Structure 1
Amino acid sequence: MPQTIHVPVHHELVIKKSRFIACVQPMPDRAGAQQVVARLRAEHPGAAHVCWALLAGGQSAAVDDGEPSGTAGRPMLDVLRHQDLEGVLATVVRYFGGVKLGAGGLVRAYTDSVAQALLKAEKIAIIRQRTLRCAVSYPLEGLMRRELELAGAELEQVEHQQEVLFTFRLPDDKADALVGRLNEAGSGRIAWIEEPC
C-alpha cells in the first residue's frame, strides 16, 4: 500500500569531508518541488550540488545537478520507490570536501542520506478515495443517509431538486460493495449520475 510522510525529516551525513544534507518531505507536484529546490540553492550558495528526486501523482523526477549521471537523483528515487512512497520529495545538498568519492561512493552517499532521513519519518498510508453521485426519490433519502453513515462515507453534498442528489466519498476498496448494497436496498431505483468505476 502506498504511503506518504507526515512532516519533513532531515539527516546530515559527512563522508570524506563532504557534507550531505538530506531532507525528505511531503510534496504534491513537480512545481512545488522546483520551488523547494530553488529555495535550497538560494539558502546554500556555497553548495556544489542540490540533487533531488520526486514521486508525486504520477510525476517522477531524478536530478543529478552536475554529479555524474545516475549517481544522485536515480539512487534517491530508488529509495523512495523501494519504500512505496507517494507524494514525496527527497533533496540532498552536497558541500564538496575536496576528496572525490567515485561513482559507487556517490551512489552510497545519496542513497544513505535519504534512507537515514526516512528512518525518522512518520509514514501514513494513502487511502485512495472515490467520489460517487446518485439521484434518489424523496422516500429513499433516509435509506441513503443510513447506508452512507454505516459505510463510513463522507457526505459532500445533498441537493433537493426533483429528486435528492447525493455526492459522497469513501475509500476506493469499499465503493463497489456499497454500490451493490445500495442498488439492492433501493430495488434498482437509485440512478447513478456518474457511473461508478
Structure 2
Amino acid sequence: MSKDYPVPAGYLERETEVKKSRFIARVAPVSSREEVRTWVDQAHRDHPDARHVCWGYQIGRPGSAAEAAMNDDGEPSGTAGKPILNVIQHKDMGDVLVIVIRYFGGIKLGAGGLVRAYAGAAESVLSAVDRVVQQPVVLTTVSMPFASEQPVRHWCEVNSATVESVDYGATVTARLQVPESSVDDFSAFCDSHKLDYSFDR
C-alpha cells in the first residue's frame, strides 16, 4: 500500500548529551506494531547496559493516525514517551517510530529536564531524517505479445511505474504498479498497442 503522506526515508541515529546523560535517538519507518517491537528489541540488544529505552510511534496519516503509542520504560510517567510522541505529531510524518536510549550520567534532571531532554533527542533525529512521499498506485495486469514487452518496460521507466512480476506463457502477462496519476496515459498506451489490460480498483 503506497502512502501519499511523508514517511521516514530510512533508519537514522543521533546522539545528544544532557548533564552527562547520553541520549541516543533512533528513527525508523514502521507500518505495524510487530515492526515497532522488533526495533525496540533490537535497541535493547544493542544497548544492554542502558538505563532506559523509551519510545513513541504513530502509524497512518499524520493528524489522524490509525495507531499511536508510547513507553516511558521506567522514567517518571509522562517524561519520556509523551514528549517523544509530541515531537513526532508536530512533524507531519506518518509511519514513524522514535526510540531514545538513555545512559544515566549520575546527575538527576528532574521532570522538566527529562521532558526537554527526550523531546530534544527526538527533535534532533526527526529534523535530520529524509522524508519520502509515495504516490498512490493502481495494480494493473497487462497481457501482450513478446514483442511488446520492451515498449511496456520503457513506458514504466519513463512514468515511474513498477514491474512487479512477469509470467511467460503463450503470451507475456505482467503485473504492474501504475501511479494513479498515470492510469489514463497507460490506458491510452495499451489501446494504441492493442494490449489487453485490467486495473485492480
Output the amino acid matched with 2:200.
Answer: P
1:37 aligns with 2:40: no
RMSD: 3.3
Structure 2 unmatched ranges of 5 or more: 61-65
Separation in 1, partners of 2:72, 2:55: 7
The 2-side partners of 1:59 and 1:40 are apart by: 26
Once the two structures are superposed, what CA deviation does each residue of 1:79-133 show, in whole Å capped at 9, x if it has no partner? 123223334432231516453513x4332221112112334x2413142563624
* Residue of structure 2 equivalent to 1:132: 139
Q: 1:3: which partner in 2?
A: 7
Selected match of 1:168 from 142, 166, 176: 176
* Largest Rg, 1 or 2: 1
Instruction: Sort the Cα spacing of 1:51 and 1:159 in 2 relative to 1 into closer, same or farther, 3 A.
Output: same
Query: Could you list the per-position Cα deviations for residues 56-89 of structure 1 after superposition, in whole angstroms to 9, with x for gaps in the alignment?
Result: 5766431111223222112102212322333443
Is 2:28 the counterpart of 1:26?
yes
Q: Residues 138, 11 of structure 1: CA spacing in aligned structure 2 closer, same or farther, 3 A cutoff?
A: same
Match of 1:54 among 42, 52, 57: 57
TM-score (ref. length: structure 2): 0.70
Following the alignment from structure 2 to structure 1, what is the Cα–Cα distance between the partners of residues 39 and 100?
A: 9
Identity %: 23
Report the more deviating stretch, 143-152 or 74-83. Answer: 143-152
Number of residues of Structure 1 aligned to a counterpart in Structure 2 = 186
2:166 pairs with 158, 162, 173, which one?
Answer: 158
* Alpha-carbon separation, structure 2, partners of 1:39 and 1:196: 42
